[in-house]
Structure 1
Amino acid sequence: MTTIQPPPSRIFLLRHGHAAQAQSGQRDFDRELDDRGYGEAELVCEKAVDKGYRPDLILSSTAPRCRQTADAMHRAMAGECILQPVDEIYNGTVETYLALLAGQAPSPAVMLVGHNPSIAETLERLVGHEQARSAVPGGYPTAGLAILDHDGEAWIMRDFIHA
């Protein structure tokens, strides 16, 4: 497991919603959410806010599908958080994701909206293989949202929300 010092009090790891297949000649980066993805993003973000989960800062990949997913969270919170696009998330490794999260302290609650496999690897690195596997036994779904709290010594999985 990985330690982020000083830790935010809460980390949200949100995978973007389901994206449309790339059109002929279209770059992967430019893929947008399809209808299913929009629905997933809206539902997961509304569920999160209804449960009282509210990030202070949203770090989002600049890829359209992530920005659209992050926008759903921003709307669900009525704009009461900072939304910051970050280019490095698109092709970022788990180390990139962890460095971005570590660089946000002392923000109390930080959300990272990113891509698989890095989002799943980040979850596993923070909470350990067993806890991650228990939370998402079938793999990290599109629009899956892991909520992690720091107990003073380690990260623990608080909740996992999906459409």
Structure 2
Amino acid sequence: MVSISPPPSRIYLLRHAEAQQATPGQKDFDRPLSDNGYAAAEIVADEAADKGYKPDLVISSTALRCRQTAAAMRRAVTPSTEFRFVDALYNGTPDIYLSLISAQTDQDSVMLVAHNPIIELTLAALIGREAMAGALPRGFPTAGLAVVDSAPSGWVLTDFITE
């Protein structure tokens, strides 16, 4: 497990919702959400809001499908929630994801909207591979939202929302 000391004391990891297949000549970066992806992003954002999950800061990949997933969250969070879009999340590594989180010492809760397999590897780095495998035996689904809290023993998966 990774040693990130609070703050932030809550981390949200949101995998972008289902994207359309690339059309001929289209870059992966520019793939939009599918109709199912739009619906799933809205469902997860609504459920997160219903549960009171409102991050202070949302950091999203600049890829179109992540920006569109973050837009669904924008409608579900408080007006004071800050949104940042970071190129490094597109082809990032778990170390980049974790560095972005740990650098947010002025925020109590931070959400990353990003890509698999790195979002899954980031969750495993925080809570441990065994806990990750036990909680998500089929892996981290599209539009999945992990809620991870700081505890005396380290980081703990508190909730997982999916459509």
In the alignment, does 2:139 pair up with 1:139?
yes
- Matches of residues 44-123 of structure 1 in structure 2 within 5 Å? 44-123=44-123
* Paired letter, 1:94: P
User: Is the 1:8–1:109 Cα contact (8 Å) retained in structure 2?
Assistant: yes
In the aligned structure 1, how far is the partner of 2:106 from the partner of 2:152? 14
Question: What TM-score, normalized by structure 2, do the two folds share?
Answer: 0.97
1:12 and 2:12 aligned? yes
Aligned mates of 1:44, 1:10 — CA distance in 2: 18
CA-to-partner distance for each residue in 1:89-118, whole Å, 9 max, x for gaps? 000011110000011113100000000000
Residue 157 (structure 2) aligns with: 157
C-alpha displacement of 1:6? 4.0
Percent identity at matched positions?
A: 53
Residue type of the partner of 1:161? I
CA distance in 2, matches of 1:96, 1:122: 9
Instruction: Give 2:31's aligned residue.
Output: 31
Q: 1:59, 1:111 within 8 Å by CA — same for their partners in 2?
A: yes
Structure 2 segments unaligned to the other structure (5+ residues): none
CA distance in 2, matches of 1:80, 1:142: 26
Residue by residue over 1:73-101, the C-alpha shift from the partner in whole angstroms, topping out at 9 and shown as x without a partner, is: 11112533111101100000111100000
Using structure 1 for the length normalisation, give the TM-score. 0.97
Q: How far 1:37 sits from its partner (Å)?
A: 0.4
How many residues were matched structurally?
163
CA displacement at 1:11 relative to structure 2: 0.0
| Gap change, CA 1:34 and 1:79, over 3 Å in 2 | farther
Moved over 6 A (4+): none
Look up the equivalent residue of 2:27 and give its one-letter code.
R
